[in-house]
Amino acid sequence: MKLLMDLHTHTVASGHAYSTLKENLEQARERGLQVMGISDHACVPPATAIPYYLRNFKVFTPYMLGIRVLKGVEANIVDYQGNIDVEEQDLARLDYVIASLHQQNLVPGSRNQNTQALCGAIRHPAVNIIGHPNDGVYPVDFTEVVPLAKQYRVALELNNATLRANAGRERPKALAIEMLELCKQHQASIIVGSDSHIYYDVGEFSEAEKLLREVHFPEALVINYQIERLPRIRITL
């Protein structure tokens, strides 16, 4: 089966990514994606998807270059309670929200603190996806995170970029396997994201697909296979 959407993509608006929305869309089309979400980093420096950037999403049409485009953001989790750095009024304008832990915005805490940060974000009513929970920088207790994500219908991301050999880390793969095994056990859904920062990585899922095969992960639990299964998102495609 084919992965039909990529909801974790960055454009030049992130400040440290290199491609435009159009370049990303062209790549999405070439890869045969049906849905692409843009999720530039929220406003805490060094990222630059400032509130005004999010507010101007009104210029978007639902389809561009034949691809259904979703308006998203990668919000930063800013404390161990799981609060995020996008204002309520701006969240309301978005189709979806990825919440992620980044070292620029929150110093890695104890395993329990990191776990509570993710659990708080999962309980946040605007959050749809937890970005790269397996990156290894923030150790978390997946036995707590996975059932809660299932309960709140928030998708945990299998992030292709963290699984690459050139990411220079073995740990993200081990953590991803731990997460996937628990997702199987609890029937919790995951979403594959490229986390692209340059156009040619849009829809690039090869490492994630390899791992899904390796652990015999059930296709029914992978949101990207059916575009109707967007996590908690109530929009018409």
Q: Point out which residues bind Zn ion (CB under 5 A).
A: 100, 131
Closer CB to Zn ion, 167 or 181, in the complex: 167
C-beta closer to Zn ion: residue 129 or 211: 129
Distance CA 17, CA 37 (A): 15
Q: How far is the CB of 112 from Zn ion (least distance, A)?
A: 22
Residue nearest to Zn ion (CB): 100
Q: Show Cβ contacts of residue 93 under 8 Å, excluding neighbours closer than 6 positions.
A: 54, 55, 57, 58, 71
Closest approach of Cβ 128 to Zn ion, in Å?
15
Q: Is 136 left (phi over 0), alpha (psi -120 to 50) or beta?
A: left
Spatial neighbors of 36 by CB under 8 A, at least 6 apart, are: 5, 6, 7, 9, 24, 25, 28, 67, 68, 69, 70, 202, 203
Using the minimum distance from each CB to Zn ion, give the nearer residue, 100 or 128.
Answer: 100
Report the residue number, 131 or 133, with the smaller CB distance to Zn ion: 131
DSSP strand pairing (67-76 vs 63-64) = antiparallel
Closer CB to Zn ion, 139 or 147, in the complex: 139
Dist. CA 176–CA 24, nearest whole Å: 26
Tokens of 10: 């960055």
